[in-house]
Chains A and B, each alone.
Chain A
Amino acid sequence: MVPIYYYIALSAILFTLGSLGVLIRRNAIIIFMSVELMLNAANLAFVAFARMHGGLSGQIFVFFVMAVAAAEVAVGLALIVKIFETKHSIDIDQMNMMKG
């Protein structure tokens, strides 16, 4: 069996890559995908800790995180489509007004 801290380290690496994507990319859809990557890294840590403690609550929590992520993606992508309709761009440098 692989030691559990390997999984935690992998989760930390994936989380860092996700935050790097949020910081360096300008495309709103890519930023959104990087947020998904960060959520996924947190899920991996949850499942690893659930396995370590032999309890199922961690896995249940991952289930809820997935449901919240699905809701977030539905609303967020609708917002991106709306922004594209008014601005004809999804570059986040173009989004500098609260008014559409």
Chain B
Amino acid sequence: MSVDLVLFGGLALVTVLSALGMLFSRNAVYSALYLIFNFSTVAVFYLLLSAPFIALAQITVYAGAIMVLFLFVIMLLGAEQAGRTQPTWWMQPLALSLAGILILEAVYLIATHRSSFPVLQAAMGDFGNPLQIGELLFSNYLLAFETVALLLLVAVIGAIFLSRGRKARQTQSEAKS
């Protein structure tokens, strides 16, 4: 058993267990913290797959920005314990069996097509370094990059519009009438 395999197995165990913890903890704050843990371990996988830029973007964007937003909203709403109502009785077994079928099929397909995956060579020295990614991003993918900038702007405007207080909306409608 090589060192790589031990490293992969341990990290995969941590990833799956933290995802399960996210699914089944009663408190939404614990779920968010488990998800941060999960995202951090996936970032380590990105490092193993020689994608350092993506790994650090994962830490800053996902584990940093997005999850802090989640935590803020959970604490703002005081919704840690929400969602106590029981779903219809057949829902949970049905969901579990559907998920079981999905995972069995995926694992079966991957196991039977194992030989079509090429054996990995050790990475070339500078594969996936930020310089290469930046050059590709600003040449081949420039249009997509600019579109994403526009998308983020629209999302910010939409979020501000949605979260305007009720008071602001009332004064606006009063001013109109």
A binding-site residues for B, Cβ under 8 Å? 1-10, 12-21, 23-30, 32-34, 36-37, 40, 43-44, 47-48, 50-52, 54, 56-57, 59-60, 62-64, 66-75, 77-82, 84-85, 89-91, 93
Which of A5, A27, A52 is close to B28, meaning CB atoms less than 8 Å apart?
A27
Q: Is the CB of A82 within 8 A of B163?
A: yes
List 13 A–B pairs whose Cβ atoms lie within 8 Å, in order of A's numbering. Answer: A4-B118, A8-B117, A23-B98, A27-B82, A29-B31, A44-B42, A56-B136, A70-B155, A73-B70, A77-B159, A82-B162, A90-B77, A91-B82
For the complex, would chain A's binding face be called helix, strand, loop or mixed by DSSP majority? Answer: helix
> Main SS of the interface on chain B?
helix
Which residues of B line the A interface, CB within 8 A? 4-5, 8, 12, 15-16, 19-20, 22-23, 28, 31-32, 35, 38-39, 42, 45-46, 48-51, 53-54, 57-58, 61-62, 65-66, 69-70, 73-74, 76-77, 79, 82-83, 85, 87, 91-92, 94-96, 98-99, 102-103, 106-107, 110-111, 113-114, 117-124, 127-128, 132-133, 136-137, 141, 144, 148, 151-152, 154-156, 158-159, 162-163, 166
